[in-house]
Chain A
C-alpha cells in the first residue's frame, strides 16, 4: 500500500494534484524501527553477535558492518516501498573492487530501473544470488534476506568518519524532509 502512496514525491504531487488526478499527496510515515536489520536474517546471523555498526545513505542504502571488516549492503524499506514490485535485480560481479558511490547494481521494478550505489569502497566478496530468481524478496525483507552484496571494506575507519554515512536517527530525520 505504501508503495502507491510514495509514487508521487511531495513536491511533484503538489504541483500536479489538481491537474493530474493520478498523483496523490499523502505523506508516508516512517520510524526508526523500519530501518532495523531483520534479526532473523542471514545478515544478522553472519557473525555470532550481529553487526557492529549499521549505517544508511541519502540514496537509501543500508550498510551493516561486522567485526571482520566486511559489510553487507542493501536498500532500505523506504526505497523498496518507493520502487514498487521489483521484477529484476542486477547484481555486481564477485571480486570486483568498487569506490564509494559507484553503482553496484540496479533494481528494475514495474516503475523504473533504479541504480544501487555502494556506500563504501571495497571488494565485492559475495552477492545474494537468491535475488536473481526471487526479485520480490527486496519488497518483502529489504533489511534482511534481500541483502545485495557483501563488501570487504578497503578502509574500515571510514564507517565512523564519513559524513555521507548516516546513523539511524540521522537517516530517519532525512526522511522527514521528504
Chain B
C-alpha cells in the first residue's frame, strides 16, 4: 500500500529500486556470516536504525498519509511546484526530506542551476540558496577521484552501500543518517571557502541550549573541533558560470566506526592502486558534534538569515549596519512574507527568537508530496550510471598479488575505466600450487577479448569490473580472487 501510494506520488520514472532505498537502511539486512568473518564486521549485524532513521522512515509513511506533525513544516495545501520555488527572487532555504543520495544531488544541482541573479545584466550577485539533505548510507567520491583507490569496494558491494560520484572536487566522504549535508549557493563573484564555514561554526558555537562540541575553521577552510582539531565536516566547492557553491558534510551522530572501515583498504588483499593524476583524499581524524539533525538545520538556517541580513544592510548602507537596520527590517520581511504567502513556505528562521533586523528565510521542504521536475529524475538517473560513477576515473593501474598462486597481475586501465591491458609477473622461485604455464593460459581468453576491444568504440570495450574481468578467466580460483579484489563482484 505504501509502495503504491509512493509510486503514485512519483508518476514519472521511479523504479522499485528507488522505493527500496527510500525505505531501507542498507546496513541491517545484507550481511551473511561469511562477510562478518572476512571483514571483521560482526558489529554491523547489530546495526539498529537510529532514532533519526526511524523518524525518517516514519516521515515517509506519514507524508504519504498526510497526518503527522511533520506536516507543520510542510505546505499542507499550497503550491508544491519546485520549479517555481527554485526561481524565487529572495534568499531561500530548502530542506530535502528524501534520503536517496542520487536524487538529493540532482535536486541540489537543479536548485543551483535555477538560482536567479539579482541583476540579469550584471551577474555579480544572486539570491542565495541554502540546502540541507540527509542521505541514507552511501560513500561519496569527488569528481576527479579513483574509487578503487579511495574506497573499499568489495566491502561496499557486500553491504550494498551505493557509491556516488559528485560533481564538485575534493575527497571521499561517507554519509549516513547521522550526517547532515549543507549546500550554500552564491554568485561566482562572492565565492569564498571561508564565508560559509564561518557561518556554520558561529551558528553552532552560539547555540546556548545545546551541548554541541565547540568548533573552529582551520587554515584549509575545514570545520574542526576547537580543542582537538578533529574534522567534523568535509567541504567541496564548485564554480561555474556566474555561480558557485560550497557544500559539505556535518558529522552529528554518524557511525564513525563504519565510516572508517568503508574507506580502509588492505592493500595486501585488495591490491595496490596507482591512481596517477587522480585527486587523493586527505585522511583526517573525525568526530561527531552531537547535535540533532533538526537543531543543526534550524540554527544554520538562522545563521544564513543573519548573513543575508548583514549583506543586504551593507548593500543598502555601505557605511555601517547600525543606521540601516530600521529600513531593512521594514522593507525586506514584507517582501519575503508575500513569498511565504504565495508559496505557503514554512519559516525556520522566524520561528526562532531572532533579532528584529534578521531576515526571515523562507524554507521549502521537499518530501514525497512534492512533484519533482523530470529533469531532476533524469539527472539522478545519469548520476547512477556506471559510466559516471566509475567511468569518470582518470587512467590508472591496479596491481594484485596472490601469495598462494605466486604471481601478480597489473591491470592498466584507460580513461572511461576500460581495460587497456594487463601484465603478469612471476617470482624467480616459482613454487605456487599452479604452474606458470597454467596460470598464463587461464588469462589467454581475457587477453583476446581486450585486444579485440581495441578497435571498438569505448562503450564496447571491456569495463574494469570484477564480474566483467572474472568472466574471461578460465581458472575458477583465480577468477574468483580477481573479481573479489577488484570490486567484490565475480
Residues of A that sit less than 8 Å from B by CB = 7-9, 11-16, 19-20, 22-23, 59, 87-88, 90, 101, 103, 106, 108-115, 117, 132-133, 135, 178
B190 touches A (CB below 8 Å): yes
A-B contact pairs, 20 of them (CB 8 A): A8-B192, A9-B189, A11-B124, A11-B189, A12-B186, A12-B191, A14-B314, A15-B310, A22-B194, A22-B219, A88-B144, A88-B278, A90-B144, A112-B168, A112-B169, A113-B168, A113-B169, A113-B170, A113-B239, A178-B189
| Given A22-B198, A88-B277, A113-B143, CB of A16 within 8 Å of CB of B192 | yes
Whole-angstrom CA separation of A11 from B220 in the bound complex: 21
Q: Is the CB of B311 within 8 A of A7?
A: no
Q: Is the CB of B191 within 8 A of A9?
A: yes
| Given A19-B198, A22-B194, CB of A132 within 8 Å of CB of B310 | no
A106 cross-chain contacts in B, Cβ below 8 A: 143
In the assembled complex, the CB of A74 is this many whole angstroms from the nearest CB of chain B, namely 17
Q: Is the CB of A9 within 8 A of B279?
A: no
Q: Is the CB of B194 within 8 A of A23?
A: yes
Q: B residues 290-315 with Cβ under 8 Å of A?
A: 310-311, 314
Q: Is the CB of A108 within 8 A of B143?
A: yes
A19 cross-chain contacts in B, Cβ below 8 A: 198, 310
B283 touches A (CB below 8 Å): no
Having A12-B195, A88-B394, A111-B237, one finds 20 other A-B pairs with CB under 8 Å, namely A8-B195, A11-B124, A11-B189, A12-B192, A15-B311, A16-B198, A19-B310, A20-B195, A20-B198, A23-B192, A23-B195, A108-B143, A108-B279, A113-B143, A114-B240, A115-B240, A115-B241, A132-B277, A132-B395, A135-B277
Q: B residues 197-253 with Cβ under 8 Å of A?
A: 198, 217, 219-221, 236-241, 244
In the assembled complex, the CB of B226 is this many whole angstroms from the nearest CB of chain A, namely 15
Name B190's closest neighbour in chain A (CB-CB): A12
B125 touches A (CB below 8 Å): yes
Main secondary structure of the interface of A (DSSP, over half): mixed
Main secondary structure of the interface of B (DSSP, over half): loop
Q: Is the CB of A133 within 8 A of B277?
A: yes
A114 cross-chain contacts in B, Cβ below 8 A: 238-240
Q: Is the CB of B193 within 8 A of A108?
A: no
Which of B125, B186, B279 is within 8 Å of A88, CB to CB?
B279
The interface on chain B, measured as residues whose beta carbon lies within 8 A of the other chain's beta carbons, has a size of 39
A13 cross-chain contacts in B, Cβ below 8 A: 192
- A-B CB proximity, top 9 nearest: A112-B237, A113-B169, A108-B169, A114-B239, A12-B190, A88-B144, A115-B240, A22-B194, A20-B198
Which of B193, B276, B310 is within 8 Å of A111, CB to CB?
B193
Q: Is the CB of A117 within 8 A of B241?
A: yes
Q: Is the CB of B195 within 8 A of A112?
A: no
In the assembled complex, the CB of A36 is this many whole angstroms from the nearest CB of chain B, namely 25
B192 cross-chain contacts in A, Cβ below 8 A: 7-9, 12-13, 16, 23
Q: Is the CB of B167 within 8 A of A113?
A: yes
- Per-residue contact bits, chain B 40-54, to A (CB 8 Å; 1 contact, 0 not): 000000000000000
Name A134's closest neighbour in chain B (CB-CB): B277
B195 cross-chain contacts in A, Cβ below 8 A: 8, 12, 16, 20, 23
Whole-angstrom CA separation of A111 from B394 in the bound complex: 20
In the assembled complex, the CB of A135 is this many whole angstroms from the nearest CB of chain B, namely 7
In the assembled complex, the CB of B386 is this many whole angstroms from the nearest CB of chain A, namely 18
B186 cross-chain contacts in A, Cβ below 8 A: 12
| Given A13-B192, A108-B169, CB of A87 within 8 Å of CB of B279 | yes
Q: Is the CB of A115 within 8 A of B190?
A: no
